[in-house]
Amino acid sequence: MSIRDNVRKMKEVSPVVASLDVRIRDAALKAVAASLTSRKEEIFAANREDLARADADGIADSVRKRLRFDEHKLSDCLAGIDSLLALEDPAGRITLKRELDEGLVLERVTVPIGVIGIIFEARPDALVQISCLCIKSGNCAVLKGGKETASTNKVLFELIRDAACSAGIPEGSLLQASAHSEIDELLECDDCVDLLIPRGSNAFVRYIMDHTKIPVMGHSDGICHTYVDEYADQEMAIPILIDAKTQYTAACNATETLLVHRAIARSFLPKAAAALADSGVRLRGTAEAAAILEEADAPAPGTTAAISRDDVMEEGDFRREYLDLILSVKLVGSVEEAAAHINRFGSHHTDCIITDNDEAAERFMTLVDSAGVYRNCSTRFADGFRYGFGAEVGISTGKLHARGPVGLEGLMTYKYRLYGHGQIVGDYASGKASFHFRTLS
């Protein structure tokens, strides 16, 4: 059966899935967690196959980290499921209740989006997160993972689907697309897929956006910044910066550019460069930043603590997502200049100011046009699990519907319900009746 045929059937079953009692959805999540735990060795064996192929193909270390599914990744997935179980049912919440006239009551109620297609690259743990979010939120999901983790994805999907169905989730509400050709077929299903969420490279996301009529939610680049202000606590700034760059270098919320106020550059930048070098980070940056490091008797050009001649950057070079132990460096003269640089060269993902000055922090957080704007903490906090969302299907840098880490609420929409007692519009048009618009809750 083709993807289109399967998705059309899924569209028909989606209202049933949306109407399931939350106790059934939670039971499905518990069954999924139990299955992942009891059959973890099957998952790990499949993942070893994927990693062996990756090594044979010479895949970069930054990508290989994303491919791995081990005890640590399993533990994170199980913690995410526990968090989802602790959250209230996102469906059926009344967010507005208004009496338009006596006996004519309007409600706005949250409902699942319906059929969601998620296309992701090189992250088997993403399959678990996405599936569980869709189960909890009452959505149907079409999942297409990257070929790099085909073996792991297959085992994970079958375990999740079988466990969920055993707990009462209808057959056909979860579907895995395995062939690359099925992506293009899925992109043409605008009559039965309500939303697409791509997770991958800039080129991959742009391809999805350019080849479908289905609404697309997500982000392409993760060009995140850490700005160290003139009023920063420099001792606090360095571990924040190290964490933001190195805690998980291949993540989209890892800092890729360091901005430093000129007033503290000569005191802060050499200390930061040395700490970054100790963590294996190579610096690139402007000629101005390179000169300061050279003047400070930093190690000779060509070492990781300095900026070599080949790594001196021009203004247009800052649109770069490394996903590696490389960091761009630039000096700025004010909060406003830092914000202008971020808005021009960033990806509107997550950006941070390090400062002890409340006015500077507020100015930065107002001016920077990103989904996440932080003060005095690592950009790596941009994550649905760390926000208490249970997990996330991705991070949206758009401004419509959902922004930032997309958890349960981001997978919901709403409908209006109007309860009447025989009222007709003609009476209001003629003046026989009139609205009084009284908010009830």
Could you write out the three-class secondary structure of 371-417? Answer: CEEEECCCHHHCCCCCCCCCCCCCEECCCCCCCEECCCHHHEEEEEE
- Checking if the pLDDT of 369 tops 50, the result is yes
pLDDT higher at 307 or 265: 265
Q: Is the pLDDT of residue 178 over 50?
A: yes
Query: Are 51 and 66 spatial neighbours (Cβ–Cβ below 8 Å)?
Result: no
Structure tokens that stand for 9 in this block: 């059937």
Most confident of 340-349, 381-390, 406-415: 340-349
Between 153 and 402, the higher pLDDT residue: 153
Whole-number pLDDT of residue 220: 63
Cα distance between residue 326 and residue 331, in whole Å: 17
DSSP assignment of 288-349 equals HHHHHHHHTTPSPBTBTTS--GGGB--GGGG-----SSEEEEEEESSHHHHHHHHHHHS-SS
pLDDT surpassing 70 at residue 387: yes
Q: Whole-number mean pLDDT of the chain? A: 91
Q: Across residues 131-155, what is the average pLDDT?
A: 93
pLDDT score of 201 more than 60 = yes
Mind listing the pLDDT tens digit for each residue in 311-342?
Answer: 999 888 999 889 899 999 999 999 999 999 99
Specify the pLDDT at position 302. 44
Q: Residue range 229-258: average pLDDT?
A: 95
Task: Provide the pLDDT confidence category of residue 401 given band limits of 50, 70 and 90.
Answer: confident
- 156: burial class by Cβ within 10 Å (0-12, 13-18, 19+)? buried
